[in-house]
Structure 1
Amino acid sequence: MMMNWLLLVIFMFFVGNLIFVSKHKHLLIVLLSLEFIVLSLFFFFLLFLSFIINDMYMLMVFLVFSVCEGALGLSILVSMIRTHGNDYFQSFSLL
């Protein structure tokens, strides 16, 4: 039973990475794929911590950091839309 969940989590992780690599035109899609990767890592930590270590404290720390990462990504998206008008990567220069 645990093996089925582990295979599902690994599949979720690779699909999230595939979307992250292939969809590099919009910042919002990149941020959503990063959140999907974080969600798959959360499920992996949930499986690992509940079946092997039986301690959930590190899961709460991981959730705090993932929420901070999501808030930082959204703030970057909002500031980019305010300054450039869209979320295309090709519309602005890094110089």
Structure 2
Amino acid sequence: MLYILALIMFICGLLVFSFNFDHFLVTLMSLEYIVLSLFWIIYLYMLFNTFDLIIVMVMLTLWVCEAVLGLSILISLIRGYGNDYFFSFNIIQC
């Protein structure tokens, strides 16, 4: 039952990531939601199968680094362009 709920979370995160084209911040938040559902799936799998949970901590550390990198890109985009709308980015200026 918990796996099905985590799978539904993952699919909802993918749908939000796929169909939202307005803000860069919403895209980053949907990616973090996907990562949270993946963390939950892996944690449940390793907990029920009595594997070592240190691998989960290493993966969680890498996912936090990914989130910090996304936020730093968002801050640089806001400072450079003034907002986080996708349609205001010009590829030629990058």
TM-score by length of 1: 0.93
Equivalent residue number for residue 59 of structure 1: 56
The residue identity in structure 1 corresponding to 2:47 is: S
* Distance in 2, Cα, partners of 1:24 & 1:90: 9
Which residue is 1:81 aligned to?
A: 78
- Number of corresponding residues: 92
* Counterpart in the other structure of 2:29: 32
Q: Which residue of 1 aligns with 2:69?
A: 72
- Counterparts of 1:6-25 in structure 2, within 5 Å, are 6-25=3-22
Unaligned runs of 5+ in 1: none
Is 2:90 the counterpart of 1:93? yes
Q: Which runs of 5+ in 2 are unaligned?
A: none
TM-score by length of 2: 0.94
Q: Which letter maps to 1:7?
A: I
CA RMSD of aligned residues (A): 0.8
Structure 1 segments of 4+ aligned residues over 4 angstroms from their partners: none
SS in 2 for 1:55: coil
Q: Give % identity.
A: 47
